[in-house]
Amino acid sequence: MSLTGKVALVTGASRGIGRAIALELGKMGATVAGTSTSEDGAKAITDFFAKSAIKGSGFCLDVGSTEAVDSVLARIEQEFGAAPLILVNNAGITRDNLLMRMKADEWESVMNTNLTSLYRICRSSVKIMTKARWGRIINISSVVASSGNPGQTNYAASKAAVEGFSRSLAREIGSRGITVNAIAPGFIDTDMTRTLTEKQVEAMLLQIPLARFGKPEEIGAVAGFLASDAGAYITGETIHVNGGMYMA
């Protein structure tokens, strides 16, 4: 399961699921570029990697900007001497509202951050992976892409599109030794779910056979598996990690 010698890019690695994925890939030997939307966040990532004894550093990136994406990819190659052949598109946001009240900005910001970012980052990264004839793309979706969730038409649509995107890209580049998969987490204990009220959490727990929220490390472990040789024959797949709340 070694990733020694590989460079991995994990977007949104300052906290939550992205941080756990970065840590897992780093422990497996990869040199990790983890991103945050702020310079302070990027520095905190660098410090966290050093403290955790993994190779790599933090970079400031807004996945909503094509120029920023291209510049970060160039900087990673410059700093680490190799481009990322493992790409984890994890950065994501929610802007929940009932559709009747949803503002255009709430719709557009979710689509731009959660979906259009994949177009930007994958388009540039795939060229490099194609040359190397090896690559792993892991896109973070959500259980609500399959189950739906009131108040999340924007978010659920963006994540369902991430899964369709992954299947199509998997078909385009499989012959080049590049796999493209999605992970669909259920409710995971991160800042994103800490905004739920006690009542909402109680209602959620009733729907989860394992009767608890997931831990970020439980998503990190699946990302590590998909990035490793053990996951080499899996592509175009969405792996559900949700404690049984949705059984595909």
Residues at the interface with ligand NAP (CB under 6 A) = 11-12, 14-18, 35-38, 41, 61-64, 90-93, 113, 140, 142, 185, 187-188, 190-193
Annotated catalytic sites, by residue? 155
- Using an 8 Å Cβ cutoff, are 235 and 170 in contact? yes
DSSP 115: I
Nearest Cα to Cα of residue 88 among 193, 225, 194: 225
Residues 162, 198: Cα–Cα separation, whole Å: 30
Closest separation in Å from C-beta 81 to ligand NAP: 24
Closest separation in Å from C-beta 36 to ligand NAP: 3
Q: Which amino acid is at 213?
A: F
Closest separation in Å from C-beta 43 to ligand NAP: 11
Q: What distances in angstroms separate CA 98 from CA 95, 104, 151, one per listed residue?
A: 10, 12, 4
Nearer to ligand NAP, 39 or 229 (CB): 39
**Residue 225 structure tokens:** 């598996």
Q: What distances in angstroms separate CA 138 from CA 171, 181, 194, 208, one per listed residue?
A: 15, 5, 25, 25
Judged by DSSP in three states, 8 sits in strand
Closest separation in Å from C-beta 41 to ligand NAP: 4
Nearer to ligand NAP, 202 or 229 (CB): 202
DSSP 41: H
- Using an 8 Å Cβ cutoff, are 33 and 90 in contact? no
Nearer to ligand NAP, 210 or 232 (CB): 210
Residues 244, 6: Cα–Cα separation, whole Å: 33
Nearer to ligand NAP, 36 or 179 (CB): 36
Q: Which residues contact 74 (CB under 8 A, 6 or more apart)?
A: none
Closest separation in Å from C-beta 131 to ligand NAP: 26
DSSP string, 229-242: GGGTT--S-EEEES
Nearer to ligand NAP, 23 or 140 (CB): 140
Closest separation in Å from C-beta 22 to ligand NAP: 10
Q: Which amino acid is at 236?
A: G
Nearer to ligand NAP, 2 or 38 (CB): 38
